[in-house]
Amino acid sequence: MSPSDRIACEDVVMFVNAAITSTGQREFHEGAAEQRISLAFLHEYVLGNYRDLYAATLALDINHFNAARVVTNLLHTARSATPAQRAAEGRLIAARLRLLPPQRVYGVLRELRRLRVNNRRTRAIVRDWLATRPDPAFDAVKYRRSLRVAARHAHLRLPDEVGTVLFDWRRPKRYDAPILEAWRRAHYEQRALYQLPYTVAEGLAARHGIDRARFLTGIAPKLTGGERLRLQTSAERLKVDNVAPDLDRVSLTRLAGYALSLPRPERARRRDELTRALRAAARRAAGRRAGTWGRVVAVLDDSYSSSGSGVKRRRPLIAALATHYLLDALAADYTGLWLTHRGDPLLVHPIGSTGLGDRLLDGLERRPDRLVIVSDGWDNAPPGQAAEVLRVWRTRLDPEQRTLVVHLNPVYDGDAFDVRRLAPGVATVGVRNAEDVAALVELARFATGAAGFGELREHLADRVERFLADPGPGTEADAALRPDVATEAA
C-alpha cells in the first residue's frame, strides 16, 4: 500500500471513529469546547478531501449527532459536488433522514434555514421526508415550532388543518383530526391532555397545576418505551405503578444504561429480572452470529473514568456492560475480566485506576480466538504497561496472530482527533452502542493498515448498497403514534 493510500485509509477510519463516539459533549478527560472544535475540523477535513467517502459514512453506524452534521454539510456545500455526487448523496441523505429521530431532522432543517440553504434539491429532500411521516397532525402537535420553520423555509403545502394549527390555531372552533382537537381542548380542559404525547402533555399539565403523580398515572398509556425507562425512578418515588417498562423490548445498550442507573441494592434485588432481560437483548442483537465467535475473552474497563461526565453519565461503563453480555451471546466460550470488579457484572461500578496490563496478561493466558478490550485507553497503572504486554504478545508469543486483538473505545480524544489507542498494530475502533460491535470488528482491520484503501472503498460501497436497499427500522416517534407498542430511541 502506498503512503498516500495509507494516509487516506487512516484519515477515513479516524473520522468514522470520531463520528461513532463523539457527540460534542464533555467527557471525563476533556471539555465540550475541545470536543466540538476537534470534531468540526475533522468534518471539514474529510468533506474537503474525501467527499464520496464522507457521504458514504451515512451508511455506517455513526451516531445521530454526526449523521445530522454530515447531512447538513453535504447540502450546504452542494455546489462543490458533481451531478453524479449530488445524485448519490441525495439517496443517502433521504435514507438516513428516515432513520434519524424526528427532532434531529427538524434540527437539521433549522440549521439549513440559518445557513440559508434553500435550493430546489434541498426543498425536495425536505418535502419527501415530510411525506414519509406517518401523521402530519402528530408532528404539528409534538414538533409544532420546528415544523412551522420547515414549512416556511421550504415553501411547503400542508394539509389545511395542519397549516391552521401551525399559524392560527385559535381560529377554528373544532378540528377534525383527533390529536389536533385534543391539543386545542387541552388548553382549557384537563382531561384532553391525556390524549396527547407525553412531551406535549407535560407542559400543559404544569400549566393546569396537575399533581405529578396524578399526571403520570393518567398519561402512562401514551408513554413510549424510552419514556417509561426515563420516568421509572420518579414513578417509583411517587408510587405510580403503571409506568413500568417492558424490558423484553428494550435495546441492549439502553437496557444496560437503565440497569446502571439503579442503586446497587436495587440491582441486587432485581438481579434475576435484569440479567434475564440483558441476556435476551444480547441474543436478539447477536442474531445469526450467536455462538460463532469461538473462544472470546473480554477485558472490561470499570475504572473511575468510566463514570463519564455530567452530561454523559456512565457512558463508557454502559458500553462495557452491554458489550459483556453481547460477547457472551456471540462466543462459544466466553470469559469477561473486569479491572476491579469480581462477581456479578450487574453490580459493577466505576472505581480505581486503569490498570489494563495485568488483566491483559490474565486474558491472553487463556489463548482465546479473540481478545476484546473495552476501555477509554487511559492506561495509567502503570502507564504504558498494556502497550508493552500487547507488543511482546504480538512479536514474541503470537507472531502468527492466532488471537485477534481488538480495542473498542467509547470515548473520543479531541487532542488526538481520534479515539485513544493502546498500542501500535492493535486495531482500535470507536464504539457507542454494543449492538454495532460485530460490524465494528469487521471495520477494525482497516485501522491497522492490514487492509488497503481500495478495500476500504469496496467495503464502504458494499455498506452503501446494503443500506440503500434496506435502511433499517423507523424511529421511536414513528411508533409513538401507537402507544401500545413499546419502542426505543435510536
pLDDT exceeds 80 at position 267? yes
Question: Are 198 and 105 in a shared domain?
Answer: yes
Helix/strand/coil for 336: strand
Q: Is residue 107 part of a domain?
A: yes
Cβ–Cβ contacts within 10 Å for residue 381, how many? 16
Q: How far apart are the first and last CA of the chain?
A: 37
Residue among 344, 374, 330, 226 nearest 275 (CA):
344
Question: Are 243 and 301 in a shared domain?
Answer: no
- In sequence order, the β-bridge partners of residue 380 are 383
Q: Is residue 53 part of a domain?
A: yes
pLDDT exceeds 90 at position 204? yes
Each as own residue / partner, the long-range contacts of residues 227-234 (CB below 8 Å, 24 or more positions apart, any chain) are 227/198, 228/486, 229/254, 229/258, 232/258, 233/261, 233/262
Give the residue numbers spanning the domain of 385. 252-469
Structural domain ending residue among the three candidates 195, 221, 247: 247
Q: Residue 242: its pLDDT value, please?
A: 84
Question: Are 33 and 118 in a shared domain?
Answer: yes
Q: Which residues, 6 or more positions from 431, have their beta carbon under 8 angstroms from its beta carbon? A: 20, 21, 319, 323, 374, 408, 409, 410, 437, 440
Question: Are 197 and 280 in a shared domain?
Answer: no
Q: Residue 165: its pLDDT value, please?
A: 87
- 399-412 residue pLDDT tens: 998 999 999 999 99
Q: Residue 439: its pLDDT value, please?
A: 81
Confidence of residue 355 (pLDDT cuts 50, 70, 90): very high
Q: Is residue 477 part of a domain?
A: no
Q: Is residue 486 part of a domain?
A: no
Beta pairing class for 418-419 and 412-413: antiparallel
Q: Residue 473: its pLDDT value, please?
A: 59
Angle at 178 between CA 176 and CA 183, to 5 degrees: 105
pLDDT exceeds 50 at position 255? yes
pLDDT exceeds 50 at position 479? no
Structural domain ending residue among the three candidates 247, 272, 303: 247
Q: Residue 356: its pLDDT value, please?
A: 95
Looking up cell 434496506 gives 470
Q: What is the distance between the alpha carbons of residues 199 and 182, in angstroms, rounded to a whole number? A: 14
**Percent of the chain having pLDDT more than 90?**
70
- 144-156 residue pLDDT tens: 999 999 998 888 8
**Percent of the chain having pLDDT more than 70?**
95
Residue among 355, 335, 324, 323 nearest 431 (CA):
323
Confidence of residue 477 (pLDDT cuts 50, 70, 90): very low
- 153-178 residue pLDDT tens: 888 888 888 888 888 877 878 889 99
* Summary mean pLDDT of the chain: 90
Mean per-residue pLDDT, 91-95: 95
Q: Is residue 113 part of a domain?
A: yes
Question: Are 103 and 219 in a shared domain?
Answer: yes
Question: Are 238 and 296 in a shared domain?
Answer: no
Q: Which residues, 6 or more positions from 398, have their beta carbon under 8 angstroms from its beta carbon? A: none
Q: What is the distance between the alpha carbons of residues 21 and 63, in angstroms, rounded to a whole number? A: 7
Question: Are 46 and 114 in a shared domain?
Answer: yes
Mean per-residue pLDDT, 340-355: 94
Structural domain ending residue among the three candidates 218, 247, 276: 247
Q: Which residues, 6 or more positions from 458, have their beta carbon under 8 angstroms from its beta carbon? A: none
Question: Are 61 and 160 in a shared domain?
Answer: yes
Q: Residue 485: its pLDDT value, please?
A: 31
Q: What is the CATH number of the domain that holds 371?
A: 3.40.50
Residue among 197, 247, 211, 370 nearest 297 (CA):
370
Confidence of residue 347 (pLDDT cuts 50, 70, 90): very high
Question: Are 45 and 138 in a shared domain?
Answer: yes
- 27-44 residue pLDDT tens: 998 999 999 999 999 999
Cβ atoms of residues 209 and 190 within 8 Å: no
pLDDT exceeds 70 at position 474? no
Q: Is residue 345 part of a domain?
A: yes
Residue among 179, 234, 182, 187 nearest 208 (CA):
187
Tell me the three cell numbers of residue 241: 405503578
Question: Are 28 and 124 in a shared domain?
Answer: yes
Q: Is residue 478 part of a domain?
A: no
Question: Are 241 and 290 in a shared domain?
Answer: no
Cβ–Cβ contacts within 10 Å for residue 252, how many? 28
Cβ atoms of residues 38 and 445 within 8 Å: no
Question: Are 182 and 112 in a shared domain?
Answer: yes
Q: Is residue 484 part of a domain?
A: no
Q: Which range has highest mean pLDDT (70-74, 215-219, 395-399)?
A: 70-74
- Looking at the structure of the chain, the number of domains it has is 2
Residue among 300, 351, 296, 290 nearest 321 (CA):
300
